[in-house]
Amino acid sequence: MNDPGQPREYARELEASYSAVPRAINEWFGRCHCPCASAHPGDEGICEAETPVTTHRFETGLTGPVDVPLCVPCAAAQGVTELTAG
Ligand SMILES: [Zn+2]
Ligand SMILES: [Zn+2]
């Protein structure tokens, strides 16, 4: 049987998954994604998913260099900027 609802349903799913992409990117870049536990184990938990102000290039064995958004506390903890006090 030809169900006319089927293609439309599919198109809606497709549209939904496409519109989810920019939202996911936005969420990804909207907060800090520093691998705190490995990047600065001594200061784990200093960032509460703060707004990133800079990016830092991490080498991941799988994908090669990746620019990861960093917030100020994370950047400072890694010595990326001159923000470290003392
Ligand atoms: Zn961090
Ligand atoms: Zn952070």
| Rounded distance from Cα 50 to ligand 2 centre (Å) | 6
Instruction: Give this prediction's pTM.
Output: 0.54
Name the average pLDDT for the chain. Answer: 78
User: What does the pLDDT read at residue 10?
Assistant: 85
Question: Which ligand is closest to the CA of 34, given by its number?
Answer: 1
Task: Express each pLDDT in 57-80 by its tens digit.
Answer: 877 777 788 888 888 888 888 887
Question: Which residues, chain by chain, have CB under 5 Å from ion ligand 1?
Answer: 34, 36, 47, 74
The terminus-to-terminus CA distance of the chain in angstroms comes to 74
CA separation (Å) from 48 to 5, 61, 65, 70?
A: 45, 27, 24, 11
Name the closest ligand to CA 31: 2
